[in-house]
Amino acid sequence: MGREQGGGDTQALNKEWGKWARQRAREERRQKKEQAQAEKPVKIRRPRKWGKAVAVTLALALAAAVGAVQVMPVPTAEDAKAASAALGRPVIITSAHYSVLSGLELKLEGVRIGKIRVAAVRAVPELSSLLGGGKAFSRIELVGALVPQDELGNLLLGSLQRGGLPVTQVVGKQLVLSVPVALPQLDVDVGD
């Protein structure tokens, strides 16, 4: 009988020891977990600096707008009608776009004014015409024009003023006059 009782004690001890070992293991895991959490650095959220991001975004938007203005075509029908009414002769404009890199100007290409052919026209609008008034230009520059002799006076000496399209200054660069005598290219500046 003594053996049986001794064996029962061993089993009881084994059970008690198993419980104690499991509790100790749980306690050790809990302590390790607490230590690991205590050792982790605390992340501090820094406030975001929105100023730089907003400034970069606005700069990119402005650059995109300037680029779009440079390449965006402008309808030419209204400008051709206004020029035809002002000059009293048909005006044809092949293409037009605004440029803002060298100051605001309207660039017209492939312009025909009656018998006159102009490779490029650069028109600088006055501030009042940009704000909704009638069309008025502080400077019109004709580049690479082929001008018959009988048209030169009408083009440069005020037919724009009489026609209701005020222009302060008209400049002609690389003008070629179609006259019987061979002349070099001319540069002409009429106005203020």
For 74-128, the pLDDT digits (tens) are 888 887 888 888 777 888 999 888 888 778 888 889 999 888 888 999 988 887 7
Read off the pLDDT of each residue in 9-19 and give the average, rounded to a whole number: 81
How would you class 68 by CB atoms within 10 Å of its CB: exposed for 0-12, middle for 13-18, buried for 19 or more?
exposed
Alpha-carbon distance of 170 to 48, in angstroms, equals: 55
Look at the block and give the residue holding tokens 């006055």: 126
Residues making up the chain, counted from first to last: 192
End-to-end CA distance of the chain: 134
- The 3-state secondary structure of 56-74, one letter per residue: HHHHHHHHHHHHHHHHCEC
Q: Is the pLDDT of residue 1 over 50?
A: no
Sequence spans of domains, the chain? 2-69, 75-191
Q: What is the pLDDT of residue 2?
A: 45
- Phi and psi at residue 43, to the nearest 5°: -85, 125
Model pTM above 0.95: no
